[in-house]
A and B are shown apart, each in its own frame.
Chain A
Amino acid sequence: MSVQTTPGDAVVAANNLGLTFPTNDGDVVALSDVNLTINKGEFVSFIGPSGCGKTTFLRTIADLEQPTSGTLTINGQSPEAARRARAYGYVFQAPALYPWRTIAKNIALPLEIMGHGSAEQAERVARTMDLVNLAGFEQKYPWQLSGGMQQRASIARALAFDADLLLMDEPFGALDEIVRDHLNSELLKLWARTQKTICFVTHSIPEAVYLSTRIVVMSPRPGRVIDIIESDLPAERPLDMRETPEFLAIAARVREGLRAGHSYDEDHV
């Protein structure tokens, strides 16, 4: 799938982006010289071992971390302006549902904060719950749902206020492989239906290849981009496509990139 790059389409644009955390043991370079442009409608995965800065990059886009060098724009704005404009929905590693709220109330949380009327809240909650196949679980509390359903609820919560950009930080990392496969194919359908731009952090090679239009391979110490792989897999992706030579070729290239970045070395702390 080739993506036409026109300057106005850039949702995320990073130029020589760097981020250094000062610690007691000296500075830790979480991100170094990251150059990346993500266009509207893309599905970009970030893959690499822990400490490679993939989550930090996502948090920097979300204005949860501040870069120490370079520039970063979201929809042509600063990350802070984009956050204030509620330009993105963020899905965390854990569902982070509020245990004292029902599923419907959890999904309504951003709508309450953003001041939507109750009729509109109800309409949007119903629509997004339908989108993630959770209809019928409105009045359940989070503890009454399985881990996979909780994470679907947190995706619905991120979709509820209709931001065009979805930032997902290893959303299925804590789930078993069967549930993860299922949610991956559902996520692809959801992406096709909503036309959102998705940034997706993972440490699973098959997941990255299966979902993405582009795969950003990252490496630690310092956190940097090793390779950016365009995927030419068709838009229609049944789960069994993961056995095709085309799929395996891309997976091999990702693995090669990770090896080049010394991601398989044993001396990682």
Chain B
Amino acid sequence: MTRALPILTVLLAIVVIWYAAAIGMNSPWQNTLNTRAGLTDLPFTDFALQTWAQDRPLLPAPHQVIGEIWNATVALELTSKRSLAYHGWITLSSTLLGFVLGTALGVALAVIIVHNEAANRSLMPWIIASQTIPILAIAPMVVVGLGSIGITGTVPRALISMYLSFFPVVVGMVKGLRSPEAIQLDLMRTYDASPWQTFWKLRWPAAMPMLFASMKVGIAISLVGAVVSELSNAAGGGLGVRLLTGSYNGQTIQIWAALFIAAALAAVLVMLVGAAERLVNARMGVRA
């Protein structure tokens, strides 16, 4: 309870500020509507309730967003094109595939970089340069390009996720695999250990903290990559498409609902990586 209390206090403050902001931001339009309808001298409480119940508010109130989420998930067929569960699954599947591919690529590159000085000097600048290119520019080229040769669906979107998520894993794992101290490496040398043994018995376990730290970053930006890639193919569905169509049609409540689902998805995914980390830590005897 002592832990929950501060969290609940912050949450409550956010909700209060949100409702207040909704009144402020939605009042100009509400005033226009009321003037047209000839409604004057409305009590403030009635006016506030009006600003929280607009069809297309500038800032939807929390209960409107939650209502939309409910209507678009629980109250709807899973197969419906308007279901957030359906679109969420599309985003989740390309996020997960991209994350797995990105982590594998990142670890593989880190292993090569740590063991080969030529690769260290030649690969690292390209890896960093790859992240300076705006993903918004790359995503349409990949999605449309692959679509033209018949590759559509999850794979092109996952490739964008991979493109973003391999980066923190490379950087983190290069540091992690290099983290053993000189005497720990000397010790392996006195045993005449093979590079393979040195890797699996020393470098790999030593890199675990960095692996999980970079996977947490990686899975969150995998989701960003998936959402961005969906913008290039509106027919394919996904939370990105809901954001896009919402903004075309001024459906702010729909935008916020999709945004909430995406944020919740990211939070759950990061927590899952955290749970896996705790599991591995327990097996490796890390001080609790």
B285 adjacent to A99 (CB under 8 Å)? yes
Given A99-B285, A143-B287: A90 in contact with B190 (beta carbons within 8 A): yes
Contact B190 A113 (CB under 8 A): no
Q: Which of B20-28, B95-103, B181-189 contacts A (4 or more CB under 8 A)?
A: B181-189
What are the residues of chain B within 8 A of A34 when measuring CB–CB? Answer: none
Q: A86: nearest residue on chain B (CB-CB)? A: B192
- Least CB distance from B286 to A in Å reads 7
CB of A21 closer than 8 Å to a CB of B: no
**B190 in contact with A83 (CB, 8 Å):** yes
Q: How far is the CB of A102 from chain B (nearest CB, A)?
A: 7
* Contact indicator A96/B192 (Cβ below 8 Å): no
Neighbouring B residues of A98 by C-beta, 8 Å: 184, 201-202, 205
CB-CB under 8 A from B197, the residues of chain A are 113
Instruction: List residues of A (84-140) whose CB comes within 8 Å of B's CBs.
Output: 84, 86, 88-90, 92-94, 96, 98-102, 109-110, 112-114
Question: Which of B183, B186, B286 makes the CB contact (< 8 A) with A100?
Answer: B286
A64 close to B191 (CB less than 8 A): no
**B187 and A96: CB pair below 8 A?**
yes
Is there contact, CB below 8 Å, between A100 and B284? yes
**Interface status of A225 (Cβ within 8 A of chain B):** no
Closest to B205 in A: A100
Residue contact A113 to B201, C-beta cutoff 8 Å: yes
Partner of B201, one of A84, A102, A109: A109
Residues of chain B contacted by A102 (CB below 8 angstroms): 285
CB distance from A226 to the nearest CB of B (A): 28
- A112 interface neighbour in B192, B201, B285, Cβ under 8 Å: B201
Residue of B nearest to A110 (CB): B191
**What CA separation (Å) do A92 and B186 show in the bound complex?**
9
Asked if B267 lies at the interface with its beta carbon under 8 angstroms from chain A, I say no
Main secondary structure of the interface of B (DSSP, over half): helix
Q: Is B186 within 8 A of A64, CB to CB?
A: yes
B186 near A84 (CB under 8 angstroms)? Answer: no
Within 8 A of B (CB), among A143-188: 143
Give the CA-CA distance A246 to B79 in the complex, in Å: 94
Q: Which residues of B contact A63 (CB under 8 A)?
A: 189
> Do A86 and B285 touch (CB < 8 A)?
no
User: How many whole Å from B193's CB to the nearest CB in chain A?
Assistant: 5
The residues of B that contact A100 with a CB separation of less than 8 Å are: 205, 208, 284-286
B187 close to A90 (CB less than 8 A)? yes
A47 at the interface (CB under 8 A from B): no
**At the interface, is chain A mostly helix, strand, loop or mixed?**
loop
Do A64 and B285 touch (CB < 8 A)? no
A100 to B205, CA, bound (A): 7
Q: Are A92 and B286 in contact (CB under 8 A)?
A: no
State whether B201 touches A88 (Cβ < 8 A): no
B183 touching A84, Cβ below 8 Å? no
Q: Which A residues are CB-close (under 8 A) to B189?
A: 63-64, 83
Within 8 A of A (CB), among B244-263: none
B181 contacts which chain A residues (CB < 8 A)? 96
A191 within 8 A of B: no
Task: Tell whether, in the assembled complex, residue B191 and residue A96 are in contact, meaning their CB atoms are under 8 Å apart.
Answer: no
- Chain B residue numbers with a CB within 8 Å of A83 are 189-190, 192
A86 CB contacts on chain B under 8 angstroms: 191-192
Residue of A nearest to B189 (CB): A64
Q: Which residues of A contact B285 (CB under 8 A)?
A: 99-102, 141
A41 to chain B, nearest CB (A): 21
- Complex: how many Å from CA A83 to CA B202? 19
Contact A96 B201 (CB under 8 A): no
| A96 cross-chain contacts in B, Cβ below 8 A | 181, 183-184, 187
Interface residues of A in 73-90 (CB under 8 A from B): 83-84, 86, 88-90
How far does the alpha carbon of A98 sit from the alpha carbon of B287 in the complex, in Å?
13
| Minimal beta-carbon separation of A57 from chain B (angstroms) | 15
Q: How far does the alpha carbon of A84 sit from the alpha carbon of B191 in the complex, in Å? A: 8
**Bound complex: CA A94 to CA B190 (Å):** 15
B191 touches A113 (CB 8 A): yes
Within 8 A of B (CB), among A253-268: none
Q: How far, in whole Å, are A109 and B201 apart by their CA atoms in the complex?
A: 8
A92 to B183, CA, bound (A): 7
Are the C-beta atoms of B190 and A62 separated by less than 8 Å?
A: yes
22 A-B pairs with CB atoms under 8 Å apart are A63-B189, A64-B190, A84-B192, A86-B191, A88-B190, A92-B183, A92-B186, A93-B183, A94-B183, A96-B183, A96-B187, A98-B201, A98-B205, A99-B285, A100-B284, A113-B191, A113-B193, A113-B197, A113-B201, A114-B191, A141-B285, A141-B287
Q: Which residues of A contact B (CB under 8 A)?
A: 62-64, 83-84, 86, 88-90, 92-94, 96, 98-102, 109-110, 112-114, 141, 143
User: What would 8 more interface pairs be, CB under 8 Å, given A83-B192, A100-B205, A113-B201?
Assistant: A84-B192, A92-B183, A92-B186, A92-B187, A96-B184, A96-B187, A109-B191, A112-B201
